[in-house]
Chain A
């Protein structure tokens, strides 16, 4: 990579806000083949104790509509053609429900380099997005680990 790796830690990659909408939750639940009624019917959600239709566990993936993957990779100084997503994790403070409004801020929390077996240097970048709700409470932390494979590896 072109930039000194450690200097990236703490860099804000992007910031965005979005509302949790019933229609989007329905669409996402269908896309992951989850037929649970809690995602489409407020009464079924209430029977499980939710104040409104809840979002599936990986719902923040819809941030794809609000953030720019290519710009993020450029900001990191990485080569998008060599990037793979290794791991992704979510930590929940409470369930997210329709009507919530989230604000996410994605920050570089770790950068490591490793010599790959086939000669290239691998760069592993961990990003964390902290989501706050309309009351400014932290409701979710989302970690993504990006791996930039070495130039000579394939």
Chain B
């Protein structure tokens, strides 16, 4: 068993703008008006528009690929736990949690936990990622 990985170098994103949300809507094809139409969002009981969870899930995936290498990643799973609003600043963090050997391939797999945290300290998205240890190079 090799040494545990050093924690992921922290990343910061934001402040999130309405333009960021609209850009993601166009890229992903999510045109639910709650995410871009102010009047619609207010009528539905929200103070303003808010980001679709997949936007911050994508932002958090960058932490995983910067840290572990895109080619090494075997799985990426996210849980949405808080809304991200325009003006929010997100801090992205990650650390190793466990390792196991994949029975089918005999390869060592690292299991890491990542989170995107709002400026309030609230976790907006939590993610679990697995990666093939042999390919990982960290500095």
Contacts and interface: CB of A to CB of B under 8 A. Distances in A.
Q: Are A and B a genuine interacting pair, yes or no?
A: yes
A34 B31 CA distance: 22
Interface in A56-76: 56-58, 61-66, 69
Contact of A36 (B30, B53, B66): B66
A57 B61 contact: yes
Interface in B116-135: none
A120 interface: no
Interface size range on B against A: 20 to 34
B76 interface: yes
Contact of A89 (B28, B30, B54, B77): B77
B78 A61 contact: no
B62 A33 contact: yes
A88 B52 CA distance: 13
A57 B79 contact: no
Contacts of B2: none
A interface, over-half SS:
mixed
B24 A31 contact: yes
A27 interface: yes
Contacts of A28: 27-28, 58
Contacts of A48: 69-71
Contacts of B58: 28, 31-32, 34, 56-58, 61
A62 B29 contact: yes
A87 B62 contact: no
B55 A64 contact: no
Interface of A: 24, 27-28, 30-34, 36, 38, 48-50, 54, 56-58, 61-66, 69, 84-92, 95, 143
